[in-house]
Structure 1
Amino acid sequence: MEVEVKNVEGLNFLGKADSGHWVVMDGPSEYGGTEGGSKPMELVLIALGGCTGMDVVSLLDKMKVNYDDLKIEVSASREEDHPKIFTEIQIKYKIWGNVPEEKVKKAINKSQEKYCSVSEILQNSAEVNYDYEIIEE
């Protein structure tokens, strides 16, 4: 995998990986940014949510579980001092529909314990916790 990151102006950067899609990054205005894009550490949490979300969707599809919607909420605490790494990350899976709880739990556990590479990387420096909520309509 290779990425390219280009400085646009100030703290505004564009990043592109092998997929060819550009991502806009920027810093906070207090440090000279324009707030014109996501901050890099925000993108790490977005990547975590996307990684585990894709796993869960794939696993539920293989288990032939029908659901109406899925949302992943990720929150994190960071160190006060630089490099301000994440110290604790909480992942909340919300799934809507009449779904079997044991299959939802199995899919989430497999993602976190086996498949999600972003989660595995982050677990080396932060405590990663997760839970889920099934919302029947």
Structure 2
Amino acid sequence: MKITLNRVNENFHFELKNDRGHIVNVDARPDFGGNDMGPSPMELVLMGVAGCSGIDMISILKKQRQEIASFKAEVEGERVQVGEAKPFKDIYVVFYLEGNIKGDKAAKAAQLSFEKYCSVSKTLEPTATIHYKVVLNGLELAKI
């Protein structure tokens, strides 16, 4: 896996490209001297958590022949000052699923993602606690 970064402007706008040619723009907020031309690197980390766990959950539920009509997630991160850095301390994930899905299977899929499969979450595990809950067809099922 390889990523290349190219500076786009005189501030902090970067274009990142993976070895398959997919491009993501990254920038800093204006209050940090950026132009807000893309998500910040820390926002990309949260996007990585959402995408990784989303792939896991959908894969698990499809293998169990669950019918997913809608799948959404919201991820929020709380950061803490550690020297000059501000790493994530707590990350909160809420999954919203709709469809003909058994509640125990949806809850187990989330548990398996965070405890076993999601490489992004596992990478963050030494420094951040990930909390999650599953809302299926409007009802909260699991909360960790």
Same fold (TM over 0.5): yes
CA contact (8 A) 2:66 2:100 kept: no
Partner in structure 1 of residue 62 of structure 2:
61
- Of the structure 1 ranges 45-54 and 99-108, higher mean CA displacement relative to structure 2 is found in 99-108
**Hey, what's the Cα distance between the residues in 1 that align with 2:13 and 2:64?**
43
RMSD: 1.2
**Hey, what's the Cα distance between the residues in 1 that align with 2:107 and 2:114?**
11
Pick aligned residue for 2:87 from 80, 85, 94: 85
The gaps in structure 2 that reach 5 residues or longer are 139-144
The gaps in structure 1 that reach 5 residues or longer are none
Partner in structure 1 of residue 104 of structure 2:
102
Partner of 2:100, secondary structure, is coil
Identity %: 35
Following superposition, the deviation at residue 117 of structure 1 comes to 0.1
Amino acid at match of 1:113: E
Partner in structure 1 of residue 46 of structure 2:
45
TM-score, normalization by structure 2: 0.90
Partner in structure 2 of residue 15 of structure 1:
16
Following superposition, the deviation at residue 103 of structure 1 comes to 0.8
After superposing on structure 2, the runs of 4+ consecutive aligned residues of structure 1 that deviate more than 4 Å are none
Following superposition, the deviation at residue 31 of structure 1 comes to 2.3
TM-score, normalization by structure 1: 0.94
Following superposition, the deviation at residue 98 of structure 1 comes to 3.2
